Structure 1
Amino acid sequence: MLENPVWAALSGPQACFAEASGDAARYRSDVAPWCAVADPADPSAWADLATLTDQAALTAPALRPPAGWQPVTVIPGVQMVGHTMTGVHDPSAVRLTETDVPEMLDLVSRAKPGPFGKRTVELGNYLGIRHEGRLVAMAGERFRLPGWTEVSAVCTDPDFRGQGFGARLTMAVAAGILEHGDLPFLHVAAENAAAIRLYERLGFQTGHEVVFAAYRRVD
């Protein structure tokens, strides 16, 4: 399941956010850019994906698209899991909702944690820290699959980095995930050694290698 988290989410707990065709699915474009196929080695699943989009972003341990799909970006990554962590609530963290989306998008544009759309906030619980009313850090839940929920969009305004906001929010989001009966996991770029060390200190363990890849149809 963790080997193909987007498929597990879109064919399971987050099916309400999916556009699906056979053995392929994608989040609605205003929710998230991610797509998935049931079996990345199955050409027929990629043919199903082609009926949904001609530009696809996927993540899995290995992706082997058939002829007709050209890689645009391939980034090595690591999936990390929180089998034994406990999480810690943060009294300074505030719940973010749809009314906060303009501020969240502005923070994302400056902190660049990865893809975040105007409806991403609907995927789960998002928490933020404010300084003098200004949103300066946030983190939340993205992929939700049976028994697991992903911590995502962990980011801090460049002017406020080094104060531990990201770590605090990661632990607070993890605490919420554990309370509703799931285990937390997350993804990080393999080259981001500092982030990997931080997440290890917070209680995450390195799982398997993944790739974050974007492809486009060329025929």
Structure 2
Amino acid sequence: MKVLIVEDEPGFAATLVLGLRAEGFVVVHSTNGVDGLWEATENHYDVIVLDIMLPGLNGYEVLREMRAKEVWTPVLMLTAKDGDYDQTDAFDLGADDYLSKPTAFIVLLARLRALVRRGAPQRPVVLTAGTLSLDPARRVVQRESTTIELTPREYGVLEFLMRHKDSVVTKNEMLQQVWDAHYAGPDNVVEVYVGYVRRKIDTPFGTNTIQTIRGAGYRLDSGEYASGS
């Protein structure tokens, strides 16, 4: 099994390299994001250990570029940071697992072996609704050939609606899935963000993709069930 370690902390990297080689891994080590990105995209690896805080390019940028180039090698992100938002950002960009430093070597080894057994994931399917498309791998939203810029929360709202297109979803479902189950703020935040998304994906194009279903919630209309089609 071949593993790429992208880590700039010499002592920690040396420990990983020695430990993984002792476990039978073929190990390549890069000390910065630029070299790590080149290795990840130009050579084949079974799994990649990627630090977030790196010189040159940070781990988020390396991962974003990897997925944009359709490199689906499993990635374990490793960082001294341990905030929930750091984990969310990593998974949103396409990470497969996440560990905070310091971590026990046996735990990291078990996680890597699990990722290798799982193998590289399939490329995410592009979601479509009429002329609207959302590419989860590149996090790109387009109406025909026009790219639409969304904030992370707006993107989450649209992705959830597109994954449930032509079905009515409630505000509560959106709060639980796009925000989180412990969100304690007002539920009108859903209305606010649906409005933001409409102004970007519908208003400039004269379309009405997101429909309000009074007393029920929202439905994203794919146009596939239009009358007479």
The TM-score, its normalising length taken from structure 2, stands at 0.25
Which has more helix, going by share of residues? 2
Q: Looking at both structures, which has the greater relative contact order when contacts are Cα pairs under 8 Å and sequence separation is at least 6?
A: 1
Which has more strand, going by share of residues? 1
The TM-score, its normalising length taken from structure 1, stands at 0.26
Greater C-alpha radius of gyration: 2
